[in-house]
Amino acid sequence: MRAVLILIVVLAVALVAGDRVAVVMAQDEIGRRVAAAYDLPRPPRVEIGGFPFLTQAVEGRYPRVDIRVGDWTGDDITVHELNVRLDEVSAPLSDLIDRRTENLIAATATATAVVPYDSVRVFAPEGVATIDYGADGLRVTGTFPVRGVPVPAVVVVTVAPAEDGIQVTPVSAQSAVGGPAVPLSLLSGVLTFVVPLRQLPLGARLTEIQPGADGLHVTAVAHDVPFAAGA
């Protein structure tokens, strides 16, 4: 009986070890496929959720796959901390082994990233000096023309997803040197602009934007996402 128990333990350890080797191979291959298909500078870190992996591999379906890209540049803008969560991934093991990508599809891809304010300011109108987040919201400071006169002002703005990227819209303005509020109608045309971030890798389109101390925290979602190069 003791010999049988020892054999069972040895086999269990071997299966677990084999499972972990297989998941590492699959993660590496998915990382290479994602990098090739979506022009990433290097393969991202990939983590396939669930245990054991081999049962998922046999079925060719994975409930969750996390992809950590880090910095990413697209549409002439760089974002930080780009992470993508894939749900219900269809990836037959034979296709992964043979490096075929036409059958690799995720039902949903949810991407999150941070757009630093320095990147936002690149697309801001002339006169914008700083963009930051404070107790009163997202603020733009600078000197702006009001009826032909340059006026230093602090402008509170909102951000929202738009067809062309991130829409920035002023909602209130105050002179930076004191005095009455600056009429918003005089600045809305000057300080309404778009940051051209239409989508993140895997075709995910913006759905939510939240200002934070370190930048704009954006969320983007895509459905039925293929991994085939050129898709």
Residue 104 bridge partners (DSSP)? none
Q: How far apart are CA 8 and CA 154, in angstroms?
A: 71
Contacts of 216 (CB under 8 A, 6+ apart): 114, 115, 117, 120, 159, 166, 209, 210
Whether the per-residue pLDDT at 1 is higher than 50: the answer is: no
What integer pLDDT is reported at residue 105 of this predicted model? Answer: 82
The CA radius of gyration of the chain, in Å to the nearest whole number, is 24
Tell me the per-residue pLDDT of 13-26, one tens digit each, with 9 for 90 and over: 334 455 566 677 77
Residues 47 and 91 in one domain: yes
Residues 82 and 185 in one domain: no
Whether the per-residue pLDDT at 211 is higher than 70: the answer is: yes
Q: Is residue 108 part of a domain?
A: yes
CA distances from 129 to 35, 132, 160, 181, 214 (A): 36, 10, 21, 19, 17
User: Range of 37's domain?
Assistant: 2-115+216-226
Residues 149 and 100 in one domain: no
Q: Is residue 201 part of a domain?
A: no
Q: How far apart are CA 171 and CA 138, in angstroms?
A: 10
Whether the per-residue pLDDT at 5 is higher than 60: the answer is: no
Q: In the sheet that 77-90 helps form, which strands lie side by side, from edge to edge?
A: 45-48, 61-74, 77-90, 105-115, 215-226, 204-212, 199-200
Whether the per-residue pLDDT at 180 is higher than 70: the answer is: no
Q: How far apart are CA 183 and CA 174, in angstroms?
A: 8
Q: How far apart are CA 111 and CA 114, in angstroms?
A: 11
Residues 104 and 153 in one domain: no
Q: Are 156 and 136 in contact (CB under 8 A)?
A: yes
The structure tokens 């190069």 sit at 229
Q: Is residue 204 part of a domain?
A: no
Residues 94 and 53 in one domain: yes
Work out the average pLDDT over 215-224: 94
Residues 110 and 7 in one domain: yes
Range name among 56-60, 167-171, 185-189, 204-208 with the lowest pLDDT average? 56-60
Residues 9 and 105 in one domain: yes
What integer pLDDT is reported at residue 223 of this predicted model? Answer: 92
Residues 138 and 41 in one domain: no
Q: What is the number of domains present in the chain?
A: 2
Residues 97 and 141 in one domain: no
What integer pLDDT is reported at residue 58 of this predicted model? Answer: 65
Residues 92 and 36 in one domain: yes
Percent of the chain with pLDDT over 90: 29
Q: Are 99 and 29 in contact (CB under 8 A)?
A: yes
Range name among 34-43, 122-131, 162-171, 219-228 with the lowest pLDDT average? 34-43
Contacts of 20 (CB under 8 A, 6+ apart): 53
Q: What is the distance between the terminal CA atoms of the chain, rounded to a whole angstrom? A: 57
